[in-house]
């Protein structure tokens, strides 16, 4: 069943104290390692360890959806050794963490162009998703070999395949084809590591998301830092193109 969510370009969602959906670019692993005279991959290992704490902090705060950018379509361009190590870490994390996620009521989803991954990794993803699919406490999405442009083009191509005779495509018709159709648009976007860019993350879905950038490197990001981001979110007035006065009338 496809749930219908508010589209930020059509309607104004109810304002919330705690974001329903938080999307994070986990950046800064390499610099974290470099500061300690360690190889970059040591930063990635530490970064993977951080994920568990943030997932649990999100559950405690009542966040319903957490989306993490783990590997971009462009990250294949990194040195082969680093890419291989990232894949190994992904496999290890799935092997180790799915049981705990399941116990915590986490529903795991992995989105991106998964065809390029090894069969072993794809099998683990499929098993993890199947095992946790009935869980509703938190939906954790890992974006792997993901790119916002890929997502939009993939959705358009699939829509066209299903509707060969239609000419015009609407937002509403496209939405179910996007990789994150099962989640509302993110309320809060966080990027760690100090860069202030989107790096081809959820281009479509971030249309009206509140953006938060922090210098903290991902391996140093913890529940306290998450709370700072949520505090900043709470102070924002989300207008979705309207005026303040219009929002008060609602």
Active site residues: 27, 75
Which residue from 193, 209, 214, 233 is in contact with ligand IPE, where contact means CB under 6 A?
193
Nearest distance from residue 177's CB to ligand IPE, in Å? 23
Beta strands in 161-219 (DSSP E): 188-191, 210-213
Nearest distance from residue 103's CB to Mg ion, in Å? 32
Which residue from 20, 22, 27, 180 is in contact with Mg ion, where contact means CB under 5 A?
27
The answer to whether 27 contacts ligand IPE (rule: CB under 6 A) is: yes
Nearest distance from residue 228's CB to ligand IPE, in Å? 20
Which residue from 160, 197, 236, 239 is in contact with ligand IPE, where contact means CB under 6 A?
197
User: Which string of x and - marks every residue 84-123 that binds ligand IPE (by CB under 6 A)?
Assistant: --x-------------------------------------
User: Using CB distances below 5 to 8 A depending on partner kind, what does residue 61 bind out of ligand IPE, Mg ion, none?
Assistant: none
Q: Decide: 62 and 18 in contact? Cβ < 8 Å.
A: yes
The answer to whether 83 contacts ligand IPE (rule: CB under 6 A) is: no
- Which helix (H) or strand (E) element contains residue 157? helix 148-162
Query: Binding residues for ligand IPE, how many (CB under 6 A)?
Result: 17
What is the distance between the alpha carbons of residues 154 and 196, in angstroms, rounded to a whole number? Answer: 26
Laid out side by side, the sheet with 210-213 consists of 106-111, 138-146, 65-72, 21-25, 188-191, 210-213
Choices 2-10, 24-32, 152-160, 163-171; region in contact with ligand IPE by CB under 6 A: 24-32
Nearest distance from residue 193's CB to Mg ion, in Å? 6
112: left (phi over 0), alpha (psi -120 to 50) or beta: left
Fill in the DSSP letter of residue 2: P
Cα dihedral 215, 221, 223, 226 sign: positive
The answer to whether 64 contacts Mg ion (rule: CB under 5 A) is: no
Q: Decide: 147 and 167 in contact? Cβ < 8 Å.
A: no
Minimal CA–CA distance to 185: which of 199, 203, 169, 212? 203
The answer to whether 30 contacts ligand IPE (rule: CB under 6 A) is: yes
Cα first-last separation, the chain: 30
Given the rule CB under 5 A, which residues bind Mg ion? 27
Given the rule CB under 6 A, which residues bind ligand IPE? 25-31, 69-72, 75, 86, 193, 195, 197, 199
């Amino acid at each position: 069943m496809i749930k219908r969510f508010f589209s930020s370009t059509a309607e104004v969602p109810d304002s919330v104290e705690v974001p329903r959906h938080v999307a994070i670019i986990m950046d800064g692993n390499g610099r974290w390692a470099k500061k300690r005279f360690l190889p970059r991959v040591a930063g990635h290992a530490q970064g993977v360890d951080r994920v568990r704490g943030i997932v649990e902090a999100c559950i405690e705060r009542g966040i319903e959806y957490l989306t993490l950018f783990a590997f971009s379509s462009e990250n294949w361009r990194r040195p082969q050794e680093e890419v291989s190590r990232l894949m190994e870490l992904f496999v290890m994390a799935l092997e180790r963490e799915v049981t705990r996620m399941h116990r915590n009521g986490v529903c795991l989803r992995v989105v991106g162009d998964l065809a390029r991954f090894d069969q072993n990794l794809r099998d683990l993803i499929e098993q993890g998703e199947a095992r946790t699919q009935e869980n509703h406490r938190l939906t954790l999405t890992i974006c792997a070999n993901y790119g916002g442009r890929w997502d939009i083009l993939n959705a358009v191509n699939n829509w066209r395949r299903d509707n060969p005779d239609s000419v015009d495509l609407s937002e509403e018709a496209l939405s179910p084809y996007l990789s994150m159709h099962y989640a509302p648009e993110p309320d809060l976007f966080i990027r760690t590591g100090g860069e202030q860019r989107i790096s081809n993350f959820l281009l479509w879905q971030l249309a009206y998301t509140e953006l938060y950038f922090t210098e903290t490197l991902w391996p140093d990001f913890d529940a306290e830092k998450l709370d700072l981001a949520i505090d900043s979110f709470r102070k924002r007035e989300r207008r979705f193109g309207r005026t303040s006065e219009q929002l008060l009338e609602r």
